[in-house]
């Protein structure tokens, strides 16, 4: 499988599962040179069995990375027409690319790795394992976990909606999802 990642669009969440890739898989990460990646993700990529390639965007402009990824995809399809391709991006523009190549018999799919969907799913698991005695809007909570980069900012946002006592209960349940956020 050849996997093309629109890192500008999905950042590290688009690389979740990299440890499951095989030696025969080829991971190509398209980035704009200013995208940030944690040391932990660098380590996971270094430890992954797949071939990993980074392609940096050389010219900036609207949709420049998308055009570069799409052009490279066409080149790879011409070289490897029987290969299975995957685009990882939240950008709906790639849906047309997938439709185009699917109509021509290419095995291709797009995975939309949205962090909020992943967070919402993890929140539901956490609250199933540790139920609270009040209703929580999981979509709203997932949006807050995604939006706020610090524990303090997230705590304040939750407190505005749920109040002090409920916020303490929520924070104790969601702790595994906030351990990488800055602050106490």
Average pLDDT of the residues in 100-108: 95
Please report the pLDDT score of residue 131 as a whole number.
Answer: 92
pLDDT at position 116 is 64
How far apart CA 120 and CA 132 sit, in angstroms, is: 16
Q: What's the pLDDT at 166?
A: 95
Q: Which long-range contacts (CB under 8 A, 24 or more apart) does 20-26 make?
A: 21/48, 21/49, 21/50, 22/49, 22/50, 23/49, 23/50, 23/51, 24/50, 25/1, 25/49, 25/50, 25/51, 26/1, 26/2, 26/50, 26/51, 26/53
What percentage of the chain exceeds 70 in pLDDT? 96
Q: What is the pLDDT of residues 32-46, one digit of tens each?
A: 877 677 787 788 888
Mean predicted lDDT score pLDDT of the chain = 87
Task: Parse the chain into domains and list their residue ranges.
Answer: 2-111, 115-178
pLDDT of 142 over the 90 cut: no
117: pLDDT strictly greater than 80: no
pLDDT in tens, 71-83: 999 999 999 999 9
């Amino acid at each position: 499988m050849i996997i093309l990642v629109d890192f500008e669009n999905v950042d590290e969440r688009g690389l979740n599962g990299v440890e499951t890739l095989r030696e025969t898989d080829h991971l190509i990460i398209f980035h704009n040179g200013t995208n940030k990646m944690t040391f932990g993700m660098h380590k996971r990529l270094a430890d992954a069995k797949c071939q990993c390639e980074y392609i940096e965007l050389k010219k900036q402009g609207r949709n420049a990375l998308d055009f570069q990824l799409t052009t490279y995809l066409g080149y790879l399809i011409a070289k490897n027409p029987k290969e299975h391709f995957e685009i990882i991006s939240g950008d709906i523009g790639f849906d047309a690319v997938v439709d185009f190549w699917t109509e021509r018999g290419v095995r291709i799919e797009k995975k939309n790795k949205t962090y909020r969907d992943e967070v919402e799913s993890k929140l539901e698991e956490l609250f199933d394992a540790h139920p609270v005695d009040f209703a929580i809007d999981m979509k709203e909570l997932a949006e807050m976990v995604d939006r706020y980069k610090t524990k303090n900012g997230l705590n304040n946002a939750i407190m505005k909606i749920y109040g002090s006592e409920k916020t303490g209960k929520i924070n104790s349940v969601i702790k595994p999802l906030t351990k990488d956020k800055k602050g106490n």
